[in-house]
Amino acid sequence: MRPLSRAGLWVGWLAALVITTLAMSLLRDQLDKAHIALLYLVLVLGGSATGGRAVGLSLATLAFFSFDALFLPPYGTLAVRNPLDWLVLLSFLITSLVATQLLNRAQERTISAQRRAGEIERLSILGAETLNAGVATEALDAIAEVIRSALAVDRCDILAQQGESLALLARAGATPAETSSNDLTADGLTEWVAERGLPAVMRGDHTSQVGSRGWEAEGDPWLSQGDVRVLLVPLLARERMVGVLRIMNREQIELHAEQRAFLRALSYYAALGVERVRLVAVAERAEAFRQADALKSALIATVSHDLRTPLTTIKALAHRLAAGGDADARSIEEEADRLSRFVSDLLDLSHIAANAMPMRTELNAAEELVAAARQRLGGALEHRDLRVIVADGAPLLLGRFDLVQSVRVLVNLIENALKYSPADTTVELSVARRGDRLAFEVLDRGPGVPDGEDSLIYEPFYRPAGTRPDAGGAGLGLAIARGLAEAQGGSVSYAARSGGGSVFTFELPAADAPVIEDSSARV
């Protein structure tokens, strides 16, 4: 809406003033002072409405003098004969000045409101773009470009915190030629900003200054101190440092209040954009892991099948040879069993490590767990003594656990005890409820765990020094036991047994008996 140039406006309104003055001076005798004042006022208002404050004030001043000189006697001088005319003259001056001011302020408000509306529109478009952009980095490029153009600077970069370092994710504009040779990219200062989460500037003379949060507030003088060429703004998403916004210009960066507010809003977008890039990367990585995991599972299933089937043949053939009196064939059969067990253990360990062991925690009886473990141990107990210790008259001990996995934990602990204790000693298993836990203690008279190795024994493939190479197992038993126990809210712990030996305690969450309607079912 500005087809007329500023000079044209000035000329036009001055001409209007001259013509009006001439016209009125011709009719001076017929006109009242009020008519003159009113006509001049109309001119002043018209001038300030179209030409702004400067035109309005100039017209008011000129009108004041011509009113005084031409229309208040004595004519041709600035003197005023009738003292009451001063009142008219001053009233005119004050009215026109106040009117000009009011009019202009209203206009400025309108302009500012329009600007703000424009910014909001731009922000909303940008927001939509940010959310829509197929590739997360494209949204950041759009944000960088909007910031660059809105602030009218040469370049805008968005850098993201990636691990220990900063990576340039998006850029708009070119590095100002004069400054690129200097160290005005301010890498060190940018890292500092990322580390501390505070804004900073670098000036044309390479000095830098740190600001504080809230620098965007209207009237904050920080940004206006000196010839600022680089402005660094930390990007925070949910109070977490995610990156840095770097703005560079070949001349001094000056931001008026609206631009600052705009920059603050845009830095939120930039922070969210950076966060989105990070989340996309995380999601992609998770998907890659998932695929790798699915592949691993398929591989494991195939391997276990393809390994166990030939092992069956090997075992059967070895058995036939052994039946024919071949002593070596018996070893082949045993080794085939060991290998099979090792495969199972490795599979379990990989499942536990991947947190993929299926757990069915249900109401189960402690005696069931002990009985099933005993059944599973089968032949291993033929020549060894396992004594189960339960307090006399103990009620039915119940817990919430996965029976299958708990059997494996207990079997592993008992097997360990059998393996590491002399063949003529008894292994004891005590079962008791302790508060809200069921405790299964496996006690042996073996050598115990060497001092300082308490925490090592749960490491896969750990075996105490001096273990016979044919002790069986590969040192996975305790690692698996602990993994399986913890996956169902239980624990496995070791203590030295008084009088020599080990106590391994397997704890599980205890439970109370359910109420059953069949009243005669009580024991």
Chain residues that interact with other proteins, rule: CB under 8 A: 301, 304-305, 308-309, 311-317, 319-320, 333, 336-337, 340, 344, 358, 360, 362-365, 367-368, 370-372, 374-376, 378, 388, 390, 396, 398, 402-404, 407, 431, 513-514, 516, 518, 520-523
Task: Report which of 29, 131, 132 is spatially closest to residue 71, judged by C-alpha positions.
Answer: 29
As a whole number of angstroms, the distance between CA 155 and CA 175 comes to: 6
Helix (H) / strand (E) element for 231: namely: strand 228-237
Q: CB of residue 398 vs other proteins: minimum separation in angstroms?
A: 8
Output DSSP code: residue 422.
-
Q: Between residues 465 and 521, which has the closer beta carbon with respect to other proteins? A: 521
Q: CB of residue 413 vs other proteins: minimum separation in angstroms?
A: 16
Residue partners of 498: CB distance under 8 A and separation at least 6: none
Q: Between residues 229 and 351, which has the closer beta carbon with respect to other proteins? A: 351
Strands 426-434 and 240-248: unpaired
Q: CB of residue 309 vs other proteins: minimum separation in angstroms?
A: 6
Q: Which residue has the tokens 């004050």?
A: 94
Contact yes or no for 52/6 (Cβ under 8 A): no
Token pair in block for residue 73? 């006697």
Q: Between residues 50 and 304, which has the closer beta carbon with respect to other proteins? A: 304
Q: Between residues 317 and 474, which has the closer beta carbon with respect to other proteins? A: 317
Q: Between residues 251 and 367, which has the closer beta carbon with respect to other proteins? A: 367
| Secondary structure class of 236 (helix, strand, coil) | strand
Burial class (CB in 10 A: 0-12, 13-18, 19+), 249: buried
Q: Between residues 116 and 360, which has the closer beta carbon with respect to other proteins? A: 360
Q: CB of residue 297 vs other proteins: minimum separation in angstroms?
A: 12
Whether the link from the prior residue into 74 is cis, omega within 30° of 0, is yes
Alpha helix positions (H), 27-181? 33-51, 53-66, 83-132, 136-151, 177-180
Q: CB of residue 378 vs other proteins: minimum separation in angstroms?
A: 7
| Secondary structure class of 496 (helix, strand, coil) | strand
Q: Between residues 55 and 480, which has the closer beta carbon with respect to other proteins? A: 480
Q: CB of residue 384 vs other proteins: minimum separation in angstroms?
A: 15
Q: CB of residue 324 vs other proteins: minimum separation in angstroms?
A: 13
DSSP per residue, 266-319:
HHHHHHHHHHHHHHHHHHHHHHHHHHHHHHHHHHHHHHHHHHHHHHHHHHHHHH
Q: Which residue has the tokens 């020599």?
A: 500
Q: Between residues 94 and 394, which has the closer beta carbon with respect to other proteins? A: 394
Q: Between residues 318 and 492, which has the closer beta carbon with respect to other proteins? A: 318
Q: CB of residue 431 vs other proteins: minimum separation in angstroms?
A: 7
Contact yes or no for 167/297 (Cβ under 8 A): no
Q: CB of residue 365 vs other proteins: minimum separation in angstroms?
A: 5
As a whole number of angstroms, the distance between CA 433 and CA 223 comes to: 69
As a whole number of angstroms, the distance between CA 399 and CA 413 comes to: 19
Q: CB of residue 285 vs other proteins: minimum separation in angstroms?
A: 30
Contact yes or no for 270/246 (Cβ under 8 A): no
As a whole number of angstroms, the distance between CA 140 and CA 169 comes to: 7
Q: Between residues 498 and 520, which has the closer beta carbon with respect to other proteins? A: 520
Q: Between residues 293 and 362, which has the closer beta carbon with respect to other proteins? A: 362
Q: Between residues 257 and 303, which has the closer beta carbon with respect to other proteins? A: 303
Q: Between residues 117 and 307, which has the closer beta carbon with respect to other proteins? A: 307
Residue 188 CA, distance from chain mean position: 24
Q: CB of residue 371 vs other proteins: minimum separation in angstroms?
A: 5
Q: CB of residue 316 vs other proteins: minimum separation in angstroms?
A: 4
Spell out the SS3 assignment of 377-409. HHHHHCCCEEEEEECCCCCCCEEEECHHHHHHH
DSSP per residue, 325-343:
T-HHHHHHHHHHHHHHHHH
Residues composing the chain: 523
Q: CB of residue 444 vs other proteins: minimum separation in angstroms?
A: 19
